[in-house]
Amino acid sequence: MRLYFPLLLSIFLGGCSNLDYFLTTGTVKLTERNRLLGELLPERACYDILFYDINIEIDVDKKYIKGYVDFTALAVENFEKLQVDLAKSMQLNNVEYNGKILSTNRKEDAVYINFPKITAGSEFTFRVYYEGSPQVAKNPPWDGGFVWEKDEAGRDYVSVACEGDGCGLWWPLKDHISDEPDKGARMSFTVPKELMCVSNGRLIDASDNDNGTRTYIWQVVNPINNYNISVQLGNYVSLVDTVHRSNGKIETMNHYVLDYHKEVASTVFPQARKVIRFFEKNFGDYQFWEDGFKLVEVSYLGMEHQSAVTYGNVWSNWGGDHRSWTRDYYGIIDGLLFHETAHEWWGNSVTAKDPAHVWIHEGMAVYSEAMFIEQELGYNVMIDFMRKKRRFQNISPIVGPENENYWAFGDSYNKGAWAMHTLRHVVNNDNLWWDTIKTFATENAKSNVNTKDFISHVENKTKMPLSYFFDQYFFDKRVPTLQYFQVGNQFHYRWADTVSDFAMPINIEINGQEKRIIPKIEKQTLTISEHSVVHVKDWQFLLNKKRVQM
Ligand SMILES: [Zn+2]
């Protein structure tokens, strides 16, 4: 998902007092709802989701949904009570287990279900019936909910986005990013017959009912992030394309676009081939070929829905509005198509253990954009791209507090990417660097990681102690400042605004000659010839520069 600062503040923090609190403290007040959603309390830790079977009727006229979800799970502990998550605005009808109705009680968006004793190691299935008017997204994808739109021909055009807000706003589940259904999910949607329904994975069946509706069944066989499960309704047509992979295999991509956009889409969507080849080369195989890959047109900007990436760039990449996603990418790619597809690797395959570490999705996606530009247009153009991304909040660290359902989007995008860009120049060995991030993706494919896992991986690969680096850029909100002073034949320098052991090497140029120095908190002095011109290569490192007499 793509977010910018003003939107972030208004959407994630709601009212003004929350905003004041965030600007003052850099943190968000923990609500009971977010505690229940964010923490793996015993009622959630006691089970592991294996499969979701989601069955929903969508009444487009009434903007109403009704259905049930079958949970198949493994008991990790003995338990008699478990928690599922369903927005309190939705009505819970019944919970069925082994032909019996189970008692429930609710607290915020958590539903507690009382079971007869379930023993650790056993697999069990239960069904949750529910219905309601799901939250309507006010400004998708930045705030979640259903998007009830009309297309240009006045026909219904429906989608849903829920990253951050929680999937419980439209279906009941165990809504924690660390627990993906190991065996995938089956999605059955009953919709007005005149609309095509597109969801994740493969279309298994579509059949007419005698009440003017049609039921579509889609399925993914791979683990999937909860917020990636999606549904789209519209006058879609399919657009079939193929991608030739470097291993010689040819895969089919079955995109869906509104009928009147088929021609324009047939010129834009083939870019996906190049994007997929780039990622497979640099970060390993796409992990979900069994579920296919497709782009699906939607009315909002876009979202990384696994195997069904949604795209809403309104076919106007060069416009003067904020969606000029090709102009900003030097005309070589649709940046939105690229960014959302990037999440198939960073986010969907390699997933954060907790949303506090969402930079692993967003920072790596933005950094991948820079890598692509470097590969296509060279190092100097990549530097230009990164300089345009040099916009940060610096209100709170990139990594947020864990267990609070805190989606640390804030500086995860640009500062996350700049931290990677900086780290590359600290490592100072490109082959080693590209191998380091590729192996992080391949060794952690289809699993959950946190920042600590990334630090260990980089330290193991590079044999460099880097805790000072991560403490500064990921766990501290400040950008380090290089204080310097040049007088006569002396160049003085030191770090300020840093953690106590910060000693990051940087590159400088003295009269055009590159030199690596390792500033520390204590002043150091370099003897240079008088009247030298010293450049600090701050286009390679995220730092501020300040001339200070010392
Ligand atoms: Zn994103």
The Å distance, Cα 19 to ligand 1 centre, comes to 23
pLDDT in tens, 260-283: 999 999 999 999 999 999 999 999
Residue 331 is encoded by which pair of tokens?
A: 């005309």
Residue 76 neighbours by CB under 8 Å, 6+ apart: 45, 46, 47, 48, 120
Chain centroid to CA 429: 28
The Å distance, Cα 149 to ligand 1 centre, comes to 23
The Å distance, Cα 370 to ligand 1 centre, comes to 14
Side-chain half-sphere exposure of 405, counting CA atoms within 13 A: 25
Q: How confident is the model over 469-484, as a mean pLDDT?
A: 98
The Å distance, Cα 36 to ligand 1 centre, comes to 25
Q: Where are the domains of the chain?
A: 42-315, 350-473, 481-547
The Å distance, Cα 343 to ligand 1 centre, comes to 7
Chain centroid to CA 147: 20
pLDDT in tens, 271-314: 999 999 999 999 999 999 999 999 999 998 889 999 999 998 87
Residue 36 is encoded by which pair of tokens?
A: 């229940």
The overall average pLDDT reported for the chain is 93
The Å distance, Cα 1 to ligand 1 centre, comes to 3
The Å distance, Cα 234 to ligand 1 centre, comes to 24
- Alpha-carbon span 244 to 246, nearest angstrom: 7
The Å distance, Cα 38 to ligand 1 centre, comes to 21
For 350-473, CATH gives: 1.10.390.10
pLDDT at 8: 45
Nearest to 131 by CA among 58, 71, 33, 216: 58
CB 344 within 8 A of CB 279: yes
Name the pTM for this structure.
Answer: 0.95
DSSP string, 50-95: EEEEEEEEEETTTTEEEEEEEEEEEESS-EEEEEEE--TTSEEEEE
Q: Is the pLDDT of residue 504 over 70?
A: yes
pLDDT at 2: 47
- Do domains 42-315 and 481-547 share one topology? The answer is yes
Helix orientation angle between 430-443 and 414-427, rounded to the nearest 10 degrees: 130
Nearest to 296 by CA among 166, 180, 147: 147
Residue 411 neighbours by CB under 8 Å, 6+ apart: 359, 392, 393, 394, 395, 396, 397, 398, 477
The Å distance, Cα 7 to ligand 1 centre, comes to 14
pLDDT in tens, 213-262: 999 999 999 999 999 999 999 999 999 999 999 899 999 999 999 999 99
CATH match of 481-547 with 2.60.40? yes
Residue 302 neighbours by CB under 8 Å, 6+ apart: 1, 2, 141, 309, 310, 311, 312, 313, 336, 339, 340
The Å distance, Cα 338 to ligand 1 centre, comes to 10
- Alpha-carbon span 444 to 279, nearest angstrom: 15
The Å distance, Cα 406 to ligand 1 centre, comes to 16
The Å distance, Cα 352 to ligand 1 centre, comes to 13
The Å distance, Cα 302 to ligand 1 centre, comes to 9
Residue 378 is encoded by which pair of tokens?
A: 């060279």
The Å distance, Cα 303 to ligand 1 centre, comes to 7
For 42-315, CATH gives: 2.60.40.1730
The Å distance, Cα 500 to ligand 1 centre, comes to 33
Residue 167 neighbours by CB under 8 Å, 6+ apart: 85, 173, 175, 226, 227, 229
Letter for the amino acid at 416?
G
pLDDT at 19: 65
pLDDT in tens, 369-401: 999 999 999 999 999 999 999 999 999 999 999
pLDDT at 15: 43
The Å distance, Cα 339 to ligand 1 centre, comes to 6
pLDDT in tens, 62-91: 999 999 999 999 999 999 999 999 999 999
N- to C-terminal Cα separation, the chain: 45
